[in-house]
């Protein structure tokens, strides 16, 4: 019970019968967790490489926070295994308690200890060091996040941004092998959020921290992470770089996650794709028949008269250098919304066409 964490070792050193060359920092394999009869996570597998930042993106209730709690050891999985640096911390044969896992966790509400000063909060995880060392490390961490001079303050006197930075310093002080961040910017107002996010990212990159960021904000995931794991209803939908996720999503849901799409019905036949916006060569292999087509805004172009499908301009709204235009096209359920140069469209009607790139084809059966 009084076991102290050993000072964080360098990446995998070959303990516990694991090859020293194991390049994976954190391996989540086939993990499931249910609360009563409600499944929170179903058969999720993910890996995190040293120095990598992975974002777990999903709506509230998709199981992303449960995933963090399982990795931290605050809960135990019903099935599956979790390895950190090749060492099994959860799975068959019991679960290692959170205090010896070497995982850092930043909470959404920061969870600063209200009865301790800022310095004591940051020192909290440095119990294995001598008092002098612990103080030095804590002060160094506080300076790193720009809070030198606030050591003796109590959490209640801090602003939201300051509290977030104390929480970061506290989580980083023991040099965790993996840092978990649970929606760490969602309690900040919009202006502060941008700056704090950039600062946090800078600190993580500078120290080469391996981290998992949980968020429901796609822009945050794109900005922050090397790869994004998209989750929905306890299942992992897709895990890849932002660009891959944008260009080659596995489903219409994944397509919508990182950017606007217009979904239309289409027919694939003989290597060609017919949509209400025109017929083009089939961009990816699909069996002949009815398909769902997701169109990125850049796939839709305004073309010269006589070359495309006619549409009726419903509304035009000013958006700085460009304008947003709602266009009704026969055969579409809802008007298209396009952004175009201010003077691109003058009349009440336009003709639209498709260009390659940004056209995503899914089987009809794929759920929305």
Partner 1 sequence: MTPARGLLYAASAMLAAVLLAPVLSLAVAAADGSGALWPHLAAYVLPQAIRDTFLLLAGVGILVIGLGTGTAWLVSAFAFPGRRLLDAALLLPLAVPTYVVAYAYLDLMHPLGPVQTGLRTLLGLRSPRDLSLPDLRSLPGCVLLLGFVLYPYVYLPTRALFLMRAGTLLEAARMLGAGPARTFFRVALPLARPAIVLGTGLALMEALNDVGAAEFLGVRTLTVQVYATWVNRSDLPGAAQIALVMLVGVVGLVALERLARGGRGYAGSGHRDRPTARRRLSGWRATLALTLGLTPVLLGFGLPAGYLVWATWQRLLGTGLPETLAAQALNTVFYASIATLVTVAMGLLVAASPHLLGRRSGSALIRAAGLGYAMPGTVLAVGLLAPLALLDNGLASLADAGLGWAPAVGLGTGAALVIAYTLRFLTISVGATEAGLARIPSTLPDAARVLGRGRFGTLLAVQIPLAWPAVLSGALLAFVDMAKELPVTLLLRPLNVETLSTHLYGEAARGTYEDGAASALLIVLTGLIPVALLLRLDRDAAPRQSRSDA
Window of 34-42, 125-133, 249-257, 358-366 that interacts with partner 1 by CB under 8 A: 125-133
Relative to beta strand 227-232, strand 53-57 is parallel
Q: Confirm or reject binding of residue 5 to partner 1 (CB under 8 A).
A: yes
End-to-end CA distance of the chain: 49
Please identify, using beta-carbon distances, which residue of 104 and 234 lies nearer to partner 1. Answer: 104
Q: How far apart are CA 80 and CA 109, in angstroms?
A: 29
Please identify, using beta-carbon distances, which residue of 212 and 262 lies nearer to partner 1. Answer: 212
Q: Confirm or reject binding of residue 130 to partner 1 (CB under 8 A).
A: no
Q: Which of residues 207-266 bind partner 1 (CB under 8 A)?
A: none
Window of 170-178, 195-203, 270-278, 282-290 that interacts with partner 1 by CB under 8 A: 170-178
Q: How far apart are CA 103 and CA 62, in angstroms?
A: 22
Please identify, using beta-carbon distances, which residue of 49 and 124 lies nearer to partner 1. Answer: 124
Please identify, using beta-carbon distances, which residue of 49 and 107 lies nearer to partner 1. Answer: 107
User: What is the rounded radius of gyration, in angstroms, for the C-alpha atoms of the chain?
Assistant: 25
> To the nearest whole angstrom, how small is the minimum distance from the Cβ of residue 125 to partner 1?
3
Please identify, using beta-carbon distances, which residue of 111 and 267 lies nearer to partner 1. Answer: 111
Task: Identify the residue whose tokens are 């994976």.
Answer: 24
Please identify, using beta-carbon distances, which residue of 13 and 100 lies nearer to partner 1. Answer: 100
Please identify, using beta-carbon distances, which residue of 138 and 147 lies nearer to partner 1. Answer: 138
DSSP string, 146-196: T-TT-TT--GGGS-HHHHHHHHHHHHHTT--SEEEEESTTTTS-HHHHHHH
Residue 265 contacts residue 259 (beta carbons within 8 Å): no
Beta bridge partners of 349: 312
Among 94, 97, 310, 331, binds partner 1 (CB under 8 A): 97
Among 109, 298, 348, 364, binds partner 1 (CB under 8 A): 109
φ, ψ for residue 162, nearest 5 deg: -65, -45
Q: Confirm or reject binding of residue 156 to partner 1 (CB under 8 A).
A: no
> To the nearest whole angstrom, how small is the minimum distance from the Cβ of residue 364 to partner 1?
45
Residue 141 in 3-state DSSP? helix
The beta strand positions in the chain, using DSSP E, are 26-35, 38-48, 53-57, 79-84, 87-90, 103-106, 178-182, 211-215, 227-232, 235-240, 262-269, 272-275, 278-281, 289-295, 300-303, 309-319, 322-328, 336-341, 349-354, 359-363
> To the nearest whole angstrom, how small is the minimum distance from the Cβ of residue 166 to partner 1?
12
> To the nearest whole angstrom, how small is the minimum distance from the Cβ of residue 53 to partner 1?
19
Q: How many helices (H) and strands (E) does the chain have?
A: 8, 20
Q: Confirm or reject binding of residue 276 to partner 1 (CB under 8 A).
A: no
Please state, in angstroms and as integers, the Cα–Cα distance from residue 283 to each residue in 252, 253, 254, 325, 362, following that order.
16, 19, 18, 27, 11
Q: Confirm or reject binding of residue 94 to partner 1 (CB under 8 A).
A: no
Among 27, 78, 81, 99, binds partner 1 (CB under 8 A): 99
φ, ψ for residue 144, nearest 5 deg: -60, -40
φ, ψ for residue 40, nearest 5 deg: -100, -30
Please identify, using beta-carbon distances, which residue of 74 and 148 lies nearer to partner 1. Answer: 74
Q: Confirm or reject binding of residue 35 to partner 1 (CB under 8 A).
A: no
Q: Confirm or reject binding of residue 3 to partner 1 (CB under 8 A).
A: yes
Q: Confirm or reject binding of residue 127 to partner 1 (CB under 8 A).
A: yes
Q: How far apart are CA 299 and CA 338, in angstroms?
A: 11
Window of 2-10, 43-51, 191-199, 265-273 that interacts with partner 1 by CB under 8 A: 2-10
Please state, in angstroms and as integers, the Cα–Cα distance from residue 324 to each residue in 73, 277, 282, 320, 342, following that order.
48, 19, 29, 10, 9
Q: Confirm or reject binding of residue 184 to partner 1 (CB under 8 A).
A: no
Among 7, 61, 113, 149, binds partner 1 (CB under 8 A): 113
Q: Confirm or reject binding of residue 104 to partner 1 (CB under 8 A).
A: yes
Binding site for partner 1 (CB under 8 A): 1-5, 72-74, 97-101, 103-105, 107-109, 111, 113-115, 124-125, 127-128, 170-171, 174
């Amino acid at each position: 019970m009084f076991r102290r964490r050993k000072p964080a070792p360098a990446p995998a050193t070959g303990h516990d019968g694991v090859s020293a060359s194991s390049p994976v920092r954190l391996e989540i394999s086939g993990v499931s967790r249910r609360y009563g009869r409600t499944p929170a996570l179903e058969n999720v597998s993910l890996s995190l490489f040293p120095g990598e930042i992975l974002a777990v993106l999903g709506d509230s209730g998709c199981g992303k926070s449960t995933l963090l709690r399982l990795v931290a050891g605050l809960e135990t999985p019903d099935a599956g295994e979790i390895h950190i640096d090749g060492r099994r911390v959860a799975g068959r044969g019991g679960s290692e308690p959170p205090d010896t896992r070497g995982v850092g966790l930043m909470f959404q509400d920061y969870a600063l200890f209200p009865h301790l000063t800022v310095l004591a909060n940051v020192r909290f995880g440095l119990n294995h060091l001598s008092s002098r060392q612990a103080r030095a490390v804590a002060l160094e961490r506080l300076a790193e996040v720009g809070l030198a001079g606030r050591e003796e303050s109590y959490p209640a006197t801090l602003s939201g941004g300051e509290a977030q930075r104390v929480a970061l310093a506290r989580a980083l002080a023991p040099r965790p092998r993996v840092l978990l961040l649970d929606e760490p910017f969602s309690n900040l107002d919009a202006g502060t959020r941008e700056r704090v996010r950039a600062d946090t990212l800078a600190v993580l990159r500078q120290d080469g921290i391996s981290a998992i960021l949980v968020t429901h904000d796609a822009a945050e995931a794109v900005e922050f992470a090397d790869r994004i794991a998209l989750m929905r209803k306890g299942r992992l939908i897709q895990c890849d770089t932002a660009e891959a996720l944008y260009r080659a999503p596995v489903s219409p849901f994944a397509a919508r996650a990182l950017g606007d799409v217009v979904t239309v019905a289409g027919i694939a036949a003989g290597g060609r794709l017919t949509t209400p916006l025109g017929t083009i060569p089939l961009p990816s292999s699909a069996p002949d028949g009815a398909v769902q087509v997701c169109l990125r805004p850049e796939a839709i172009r305004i073309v010269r008269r006589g070359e495309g499908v006619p549409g009726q301009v419903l509304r035009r709204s000013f958006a700085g250098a460009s304008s947003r235009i709602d266009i009704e096209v026969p055969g579409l359920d809802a008007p298209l919304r396009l952004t175009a140069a201010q003077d691109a469209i003058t009349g009440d009607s336009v003709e639209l066409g498709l260009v390659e790139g940004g056209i995503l084809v899914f089987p009809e059966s794929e759920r929305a």
